[in-house]
Amino acid sequence: MNKAIFPGSFDPITLGHEDIIRRAIPLFDEIVIAIGINSEKKYMFPLEERKRFIEETFKDEPKVSVITYEGLTIHLCQKINANFILRGLRNPADFEFEKAIAHTNRRMSKIETVFLLTAAKTSYISSSIVRDVIRNHGEYELLVPQAVKVTK
């Protein structure tokens, strides 16, 4: 069984994340969206809200599940028997950063990282851009799945 973990903070999930996950569904038997918890990081959305956004976005997709975790992603992979880490690449800077992590993960385990290029129509979207648009009362709805709702 080919199980992939798609890790991230998803603060919030974006159309770019959704695109990568939907395009990966035919490639894997199961995709676990893993929301990492970092106590040092300040999030815009609480963990349970981020989880709910993702669960609602993929409610009709039985191959996708959502969990939360702390620690190294490879330890989570080993714990739940996932043999792949799924990552999206928007630009060359993403590739350089993700390549180093993928090499480290493979060195520390036998887990492979699979990269998918983001679609051109979503390649400019990042969670940090979405948070900035939200903070400045912009049209964030153009950048996120319908499940993401900001209460004012």
Question: Any idea which residues carry the catalytic annotation?
Answer: 17, 41, 90, 127
Contact 144, 15 (CB under 8 A): yes
Is 98 assigned a ligand-binding role in the annotation? Answer: yes
Two tokens, residue 105: 């993960």
Nearest to 36, CA basis, from 77, 83, 72, 70: 70
Is 88 assigned a ligand-binding role in the annotation? Answer: yes
Is 23 assigned a ligand-binding role in the annotation? Answer: no
Is 109 assigned a ligand-binding role in the annotation? Answer: no
Is 90 assigned a ligand-binding role in the annotation? Answer: yes
d(CA 98, CA 82): 18
Token look-up 């990042």 returns 126
Annotated binding site, which residues? 9-10, 17, 41, 73, 87-90, 98, 122-128
Annotated binding site for ATP, which residues? 9-10, 17, 88-90, 98, 122-128
